[in-house]
Structure 1
Amino acid sequence: MPTTKTSWLNSYKTHQGNDEMYSLNDEVKPYWNKLFKGFDKLGVNGLTARQKDIDWLLSENGVTYNVYNDPKGMHRPWSLNVVPFVLHQEEWNRVEAGLKQRAELLNLVLKDVYGERKLIKDGIVPYEVIYGHRGFLRQCSGMELNMEKFLSIYAADLCRGTDGRLWVVNDRTEAPSGMGYALENRSTSSRILPEMFAKMNVKRLSGFFQKFNQMLIDAAPGKKENPNIVILTPGSHNETYFEHAYMASFLGYPLVQGNDLVVRDGFLWMKSLQGLKQIDVVLRRVDDAFTDPLELREDSHLGVAGLLDVVRRKNVSVINPIGSGVIENPGLIPFMPAIAKYFLKEELILPQIASWWCGQEKEKNYVLENLSKLVVKRIDRTNRESIYFGELMSVKEIDALKKVIIERPYRFVAQEHINFSTAPNLTNESLEPRNVVARAFCIASKDQYSVMPGGLVRVASDSETVRVSNQRGGTSKDLWILDETASTEDKSRQWQQKSSVAISGLNDLPSLTAENLYWAGRYVGRTLVNARFLRTVMRQMAIVQNRDEKPDSEKLKVLFKAVTHLTATYPGFIEKDKNGKLAMDNPYEEMLSVILDKNRVGSLAHTIGMFSNSYYSIRNLWSSDMWRVFENIQKLWNSLVDGEDHSINRILKVLNQLITRLIAFMGLIEESIMVQQGLLLYFIGLQLEQSSLTITKCRALLTIKYDEQVEYDLLEYLLTSHESLNIYRYSYRSHIELEHVLDLVVLDLDYARSLTFMINRLQKDISRLPHSKQDHQLSNYQKFVFEAFSKLRLAESTELAKTKSETDYAREELNHLMKTLSKLLHQTSQSISNTYFNHTDKQNQLFTQSFPI
């Protein structure tokens, strides 16, 4: 009996017959109808509102996908459509069985490729399919692993074929991405559509991720009970870096880069602040060839020199194993039926896209004769543009492709051009069909494979787009597997059956993460101090402008020069530039450059950019509230930089808001992580930067004696930019005097903004660093800070305020003290970096190898 359509479905028009909502006889599938009955209750406005809630929530949580060369910037917001992709459990059971079978087959292929190579010897797979693939690494030949299953994680891209069944389009085995995005999609959709989620009996994902975590634990050498596990990322510029950070935070494992790890004595170690910590399991997100610059790509900065040797010794488990990219190979697809019969004596459960490997004469001739109807790929993913759609190519382009294929036919595979199935997508308050591809995930679980009851569905950017890709502006959907009964699965995340893991501390902090925390503190401090001082200067420029005066008064000249010293944007207001111009002749133009020019080192825009980079690099440590404040800072700043209004009043307004949000951000940092989990490094960086900039301000404004009125104004500007004017008035209740300012801003041991207080705090913080507690001796950085603190404690404001004579203008004692302190803090910073953040060791190959990109 035909299903009665809902109002949503009555208006839904597809451009082709192959649509997910419809069966082969053009009837709406019952579970899709049930979904849209629920959407009918929401109505157009209600469903559109839910979509806006999803967009807002993803933005608030900072879910991003890095699109290379994107004019919108690297950190592009992740997009999730409110309409999910739904499949019934009955259909999913067959898909699940097919995915398990395919994962097992590829696992056997991987073992065979680096083992006995029976597939090649027995003529099941031509040797060119394997040896002609850039993912085949001879260095991995004969390698044994700690895991029973070589292939620990498998992902398959699925689309519905013309026969109504889901087909396998691609296999992903090297470092499959998307699992974290699928989890975030589920978290978001279940929050925004809770009533639909419950009524539709959606299968939950928690059990799968418990198995995933257990798989990592079981992979440890010697079945270690509480192994040390890390997630290896290429870094914050990688397209799926959000996922790396998200999974590290979700699972609770350190997120490391290649420089965080080192090989010693046949074992893999993580460089922490307390020394080396042995690593048992690496979940890698770095491509095969980049994992070991000693044996593989010598130009790689992403891997660890000697890692392959540790794997050979079975002293570490890498998931997926290095070399697994060779089976991410469309050239294998034509031979998969024969492989299934050879290894399992079975037929393939899941159909796959029709493919012809051009290394065979008959198949090559067929491809050459039918290029205009086929899709041609390299057998390895050499680059993102090496896919040729015959129907979209000109005669000249087809002829050129033929020549390339004839020259090296074994490098190419052709596939049938099929139209992906479409699914409803909420677009502009109406349902429109969009091409979709679903990515499903398998993990090795003991002696079998487990399949995620869901996945990541990618959606084409518009109705005309054939290729479905996030890099091409596509969106995503949550994949709902619907059961007849409500899920009773435990939602809790109790990962380990036996757990005796202590609270993590500095020994669990990768050295690169520690360095990023340190520089996050420095850049936050620099941004705040510079923003406050620039605001003070701009206020004075506004007063002069309102009075219609020329900005050439002596006090303004001193302030302008102080800006150059504080930001280190030389020559600035100090000297003429390379064109012989003096910035003092056009101070407004120079101030705009110092504030807004992101390409000028030292400018406020450049500093904010560096602050943003340091934040992104350790985003797995921060709370969601911090992300929201951080996003507000970015949006506010971009509104100024990209806007046309750069008037003094507009800049002042933005600086006020920026300072307020920075203070909120700094307050939230202390709530995100514990001191011994890395906050200590942030505090050290912050105190060092604020102390150094306070010294610079004092040298620029106080070491020269000026006329009484000018000096009074400069003292007031210093107190204002230091947020100390009210404290001064409350404390001294007198006319502003240099000695009192020095007492408050420089020498007061109890005032949190004074230089002495900050250096004393720095002294206490660095004493908690691991090397500070060894041998009962002061480390070099402790000596430098101790000397700086001692000089401040011995200083007297009356002596610092003096000049040699009434006619002398230089306060030499004050200048000498500030200069000495500046040098000592610089030495402190260098000593800390040399002790804890040395990532410069490089090992070279004894011979050069070529790994094509």
Structure 2
Amino acid sequence: MIHTTTPTALPATGILGDYTPAEGLYDEMFGPDGGPHRHTELFVRRLESLGKSEFSRRWRQAEQQLREHGVTYSPPSDDKKRTRPWKLDGLPLIVSAEEWKTLTSGLEQRARLLNMVLADIYGKQKLVASGLIPPDLILGHPGYLRQYHGQNPPEDRYLHMYAADLGRSPDGRWWVTNDRTEDPTGSGYALENRVILSRMLTETFHECEVSRLAPYFITLKDHLSRIAPSRGNHPFIALLTRGPGTSKFFEDVYLAKYLGFTLVQGNDLGVRQDNIMLKTLGGLKKIDVLLRRVVSDQCDPLEIHCRKSGGAAGLLQAVRKGNVLLANSLGTGILQSPAFLAFLPALSRELLGEDLKLSSVATWWCGGEKERKYVLDNLPRLMIKDAFRMGTQKPIRPAAMSTKERMDLIDRIKAEPRRYVGQETVSRSSAPVWNGKGCEAAYTGLRLFLTAHEDGYEAMPGGLTRVASTPQILDVSITEGTQSKDTWVLSDGPVQQVSLLRDQRKIELQRAGSDLPSRVADDLFWLGRYAARADGAARLLRTLVSRLVSEDDWEQKPETPMLLNCAFEAIVDKRVPFPDASRPDSQEIRNFLIAAVSDLSNPDSLWSTLQSMRNMANNLRDRLSTDGWRIIDRSTDGSAPTLRPRMGLGGLLHWLNQTVVDLAAFSGLLSDSMTRSLGWRFVEIGRRLEKALFTSLILRTSIPAITNNQPTSMEALLELSDSLMTYRSRYMANLQLAPFIDLLISDESNPRSILFQLNVIKEYIDELPRSERIAGMDPVQQRAATTLYALHMFDPTKVTSSESAESLIDILEQLLSDLPMLGEAVAHRYLHHSGVSRSLDEIRAGV
């Protein structure tokens, strides 16, 4: 943590009572005299009136909200791309209205300038010809490709969104440290920070008259709609994401939901007649605008050599034809090179006829002889960066290097000078950060966001503030650092309520549609399957463990070996030895349960199934409610339960009970909140298919026990099928085979019976889109109808004992054969889509 100095006029008690600003740095909350700045005075007063106890209580609630919202990130420094929970501080960074005007004026000028530079780079290149931009800086940049020429965006607008990273020097001046022009990241996190902190400090938020963030997003939506190629009333706007497992996926989902845009991945897209089309179950749907969150060189494998493809083959041609708008245009990331900071002052005077209003941190490109000499002479006091940086490479700090390392660096710079930039070490301001007991000083960095509009650019009245214990961390990425802060921009007067739902253009009423991407339908189908599979496994294990912890003698529970056998067939890896059923407390039983519950190497174990369900839900974050994700997160977060001595079978039973309740809650929430559209049908087909399979497998495995009319075995199966109360209400305690079989297989009124599942499957398959070229039933309908007919022909009254169980065995084995094929038929007809696009270079390499 940074060195601090005791101020003269800080509050003696309360939340900020033990806070001491950093020595020699500008503090964002307090002035040199130790008292709050004029614009932070009201906030400090209101904060101190809360007291530590109340503030701590509210902060715990805020942290819980962050966890429930599932806010995560994946830092670029983590090679395994593991997601981590997003960290937010309970105190905002506050910017005065006067200072905000200065910042926005400078950044709006900067955005206009950068857009003009991009138009020249991918246009007539007069700036290169005149020497204002060195040719090596463009032609040597790996992010510059000739394929990006000819995009001709509407209104010559290459830069639709822009972000700038800023640091504040000890004298209080702001300096731009980085320009973000490729796909500016962080506005979604800034929005989530605002949601959390405005709820935590509601009264203070309103009293301080903090500007709202919604106008920024309204401007973005209006701009994209206005400039869309179709120029219709309702252009189709999609947000292009790399997908789950990538560092920006949470924010992509968050923005798509907030803005009302369709979230798409590269495999969802196709190109037809130079138009970008979304592949849906109902056919192809034209996309007018793609809000691009995929880096330029991964957008079109047909024209751009790339190791990973996140776009569509032919995308560039569609852009050139003017049939789709890309925001931002391809190739805009070239201006993220730190080398351009050295040339912006001259470019501003040339293109705008004015000096930069907001200066960049001092930068020297080593491609110039004089600049290279300065960098080499002042190496210890500078940072060295890659001049062509496109990602999040960490800067080199010569001051921390050994003599040999420094000499090696000098040799590298002399060998390839154009690849290096020298930059002054960035000063950072300090701000108080809540540590759970009090406040301590931390370094800060600020990212501000701008969006284009008809007359120029508009800044988000807020931003993403990052805090860290060392300033070096803040020079890398917005996801590097200890935590973040909400950024409060104070208004000049009362703040009006603003909503994104203010569009007054007439829209046509709809009930359902077939514009569901096949990838999304596939994920929904498997979400339903995994949820039902987990429910069946949890209920089976709960029924088994409840027998193991029972007070009854082992000999009085003959159903237990049957349940062990069911678990062995349905859940446990077959490499695990079947346990000795005569000893309920044996290590064999414990090992068996560990394998059934928490063996991640076994895809059928309960915990593996829950994690698969979580992965599917994560893919569908833009389609799930916050409550739905909260239930899944609660059930699957953390590590798998283990049978440690402290937990024991009783603890495992408690966890299984909670898991069953959570899965039931998730199922009920889907049922109550999903519209009965195609998405709902695929969830239900998946759920019902898995339920029918599970019941068929359990009954087939249990035939020796139930056909011998073992009442405890039948009772156990009714219990795990959640049908025991139904049976007793009809037949009292008289357990017989025929009514037992009827209830679990043939009873159309029992939502747990196999026939009930198949009726739902057949109904929903009949409602799926069909080819008009096929008369009568298509192959999927035929397979569903055949399976359903066979089940209708089964007569449970003829099954009374083991001697008459042949028809029961036949129908169960037919179901275990037909149901997987029915699932494959649904997937083949509706869910299988084209593979990953590859570049021509990759294809030729394999020839």
Q: TM-score, normalised by structure 1?
A: 0.92
Which segment is superposed worse, 345-354 or 46-55?
A: 46-55
Contact 1:22 1:28 in 2 (8 A): yes
1:83 aligns with one of 64, 73, 91: 91
How far apart are residue 86 of structure 1 and its match?
A: 0.8
State the distance in 2 between where 1:380 and 1:732 align. 78
Equivalent residue number for residue 134 of structure 1:
142
**Is 1:409 aligned with 2:410?**
no
Contact 1:152 1:319 in 2 (8 A): yes
State the distance in 2 between where 1:246 and 1:737 align. 54
State the distance in 1 between where 2:267 and 2:226 align. 26
1:335 aligns with one of 343, 358, 362: 343
Equivalent residue number for residue 649 of structure 1:
650
Equivalent residue number for residue 726 of structure 2:
727
Contact 1:256 1:512 in 2 (8 A): no
Instruction: Please list the CA deviations of residues 522-579 of structure 1 after superposition, one character each: whole Å capped at 9, or x if unmatched.
Output: 10000000111122222333349x7478x9x975444333223212633445799xxx
How far apart are residue 321 of structure 1 and its match?
A: 1.1
Go from structure 1 to structure 2 and tell me whether the alpha carbon gap of 1:225 and 1:821 turns closer, same or farther (over 3 Å shift).
same
**Is 1:110 aligned with 2:109?**
no
Contact 2:598 2:640 in 1 (8 A): no
Contact 1:67 1:471 in 2 (8 A): yes
1:29 aligns with one of 37, 57, 60: 37
Which segment is superposed worse, 126-135 or 311-320?
A: 126-135
2:524 aligns with one of 517, 528, 535: 517
- Alignment map for 1:251-650 (pairs within 5 Å): 251-381=259-389, 383-461=391-469, 467=475, 469=477, 471-488=479-496, 490-503=497-510, 505-543=512-550, 547=553, 556-567=560-571, 569-573=573-577, 586-635=588-637, 638=639, 640-641=641-642, 645-650=646-651
**Is 1:245 aligned with 2:239?**
no
The residue type paired with residue 615 of structure 2 is N
Equivalent residue number for residue 19 of structure 2:
12
The residue type paired with residue 436 of structure 1 is T
- Alignment map for 1:602-751 (pairs within 5 Å): 602-635=604-637, 638=639, 640-641=641-642, 645-676=646-677, 678-702=679-703, 704=704, 708=708, 711-751=710-750
- Alignment map for 1:38-77 (pairs within 5 Å): 38-67=46-75, 74-77=82-85
State the distance in 1 between where 2:843 and 2:410 align. 30
How far apart are residue 400 of structure 1 and its match?
A: 2.8
State the distance in 2 between where 1:748 and 1:190 align. 53
SS in 1 for 2:442: strand
Instruction: Please list the CA deviations of residues 584-628 of structure 1 after superposition, one character each: whole Å capped at 9, or x if unmatched.
Output: 992431221121112222111110110000111111222222233
Go from structure 1 to structure 2 and tell me whether the alpha carbon gap of 1:585 and 1:474 turns closer, same or farther (over 3 Å shift).
closer
Go from structure 1 to structure 2 and tell me whether the alpha carbon gap of 1:654 and 1:388 turns closer, same or farther (over 3 Å shift).
same
Go from structure 1 to structure 2 and tell me whether the alpha carbon gap of 1:672 and 1:148 turns closer, same or farther (over 3 Å shift).
farther
Which segment is superposed worse, 332-341 or 648-657?
A: 648-657
The residue type paired with residue 744 of structure 1 is L
Go from structure 1 to structure 2 and tell me whether the alpha carbon gap of 1:443 and 1:69 turns closer, same or farther (over 3 Å shift).
closer
Contact 1:61 1:628 in 2 (8 A): yes
Contact 1:517 1:678 in 2 (8 A): yes
Instruction: Please list the CA deviations of residues 624-674 of structure 1 after superposition, one character each: whole Å capped at 9, or x if unmatched.
Output: 222332232134x63725976452222111101110111111111123331
5+ residue gaps in structure 2? 1-6, 581-585
Instruction: Please list the CA deviations of residues 62-87 of structure 1 after superposition, one character each: whole Å capped at 9, or x if unmatched.
Output: 22223468699944222221211111
The residue type paired with residue 729 of structure 1 is R
State the distance in 2 between where 1:224 and 1:759 align. 44
Equivalent residue number for residue 580 of structure 1:
none
Length, aligned pairs only: 832
State the distance in 2 between where 1:205 and 1:432 align. 28
1:818 aligns with one of 789, 809, 812: 812
State the distance in 1 between where 2:719 and 2:687 align. 20
State the distance in 2 between where 1:238 and 1:317 align. 24
Equivalent residue number for residue 784 of structure 1:
783
The residue type paired with residue 688 of structure 2 is Q
Contact 1:103 1:449 in 2 (8 A): yes
SS in 2 for 1:449: strand
Which segment is superposed worse, 302-311 or 836-845?
A: 836-845
Go from structure 1 to structure 2 and tell me whether the alpha carbon gap of 1:433 and 1:573 turns closer, same or farther (over 3 Å shift).
same
How far apart are residue 29 of structure 1 and its match?
A: 1.8
Go from structure 1 to structure 2 and tell me whether the alpha carbon gap of 1:418 and 1:46 turns closer, same or farther (over 3 Å shift).
same
1:831 aligns with one of 825, 828, 846: 825
The residue type paired with residue 116 of structure 1 is K
Contact 2:177 2:426 in 1 (8 A): no
Instruction: Please list the CA deviations of residues 21-64 of structure 1 after superposition, one character each: whole Å capped at 9, or x if unmatched.
Output: 35578764211222211112112223233322321222222222
Go from structure 1 to structure 2 and tell me whether the alpha carbon gap of 1:124 and 1:239 turns closer, same or farther (over 3 Å shift).
same
State the distance in 2 between where 1:466 and 1:107 align. 26
5+ residue gaps in structure 1? 577-583, 806-810
Equivalent residue number for residue 176 of structure 1:
184
Go from structure 1 to structure 2 and tell me whether the alpha carbon gap of 1:71 and 1:290 turns closer, same or farther (over 3 Å shift).
closer
Go from structure 1 to structure 2 and tell me whether the alpha carbon gap of 1:407 and 1:71 turns closer, same or farther (over 3 Å shift).
closer
Instruction: Please list the CA deviations of residues 374-425 of structure 1 after superposition, one character each: whole Å capped at 9, or x if unmatched.
Output: 1111123355444212222222332332233223221121210132111122
Go from structure 1 to structure 2 and tell me whether the alpha carbon gap of 1:11 and 1:535 turns closer, same or farther (over 3 Å shift).
closer
State the distance in 1 between where 2:185 and 2:39 align. 29
State the distance in 2 between where 1:170 and 1:640 align. 45
State the distance in 2 between where 1:124 and 1:464 align. 31
Equivalent residue number for residue 3 of structure 2:
none
The residue type paired with residue 215 of structure 1 is H
Contact 1:226 1:501 in 2 (8 A): no
Go from structure 1 to structure 2 and tell me whether the alpha carbon gap of 1:601 and 1:376 turns closer, same or farther (over 3 Å shift).
same
Go from structure 1 to structure 2 and tell me whether the alpha carbon gap of 1:801 and 1:335 turns closer, same or farther (over 3 Å shift).
farther
Which segment is superposed worse, 345-354 or 80-89?
A: 80-89
State the distance in 2 between where 1:487 and 1:166 align. 26
State the distance in 2 between where 1:689 and 1:721 align. 15
State the distance in 2 between where 1:572 and 1:748 align. 36
Go from structure 1 to structure 2 and tell me whether the alpha carbon gap of 1:392 and 1:644 turns closer, same or farther (over 3 Å shift).
farther
Provide the identity percentage: 33
SS in 1 for 2:533: helix
- Alignment map for 1:206-221 (pairs within 5 Å): 206-221=214-229
State the distance in 2 between where 1:778 and 1:585 align. 54
SS in 1 for 2:661: helix
How far apart are residue 128 of structure 1 and its match?
A: 1.8
How far apart are residue 241 of structure 1 and its match?
A: 1.8
Go from structure 1 to structure 2 and tell me whether the alpha carbon gap of 1:68 and 1:150 turns closer, same or farther (over 3 Å shift).
closer
State the distance in 1 between where 2:323 and 2:117 align. 24
State the distance in 1 between where 2:136 and 2:437 align. 51
Instruction: Please list the CA deviations of residues 97-151 of structure 1 after superposition, one character each: whole Å capped at 9, or x if unmatched.
Output: 1101110111011111111111111101112222222221221112212354210
Q: TM-score, normalised by structure 2?
A: 0.92
Which segment is superposed worse, 722-731 or 842-851?
A: 842-851
SS in 1 for 2:639: helix
Contact 2:762 2:781 in 1 (8 A): yes
Go from structure 1 to structure 2 and tell me whether the alpha carbon gap of 1:670 and 1:461 turns closer, same or farther (over 3 Å shift).
farther
State the distance in 1 between where 2:250 and 2:655 align. 29
Which segment is superposed worse, 9-18 or 748-757?
A: 9-18
The residue type paired with residue 834 of structure 2 is T
Contact 1:564 1:573 in 2 (8 A): no
Equivalent residue number for residue 847 of structure 1:
841
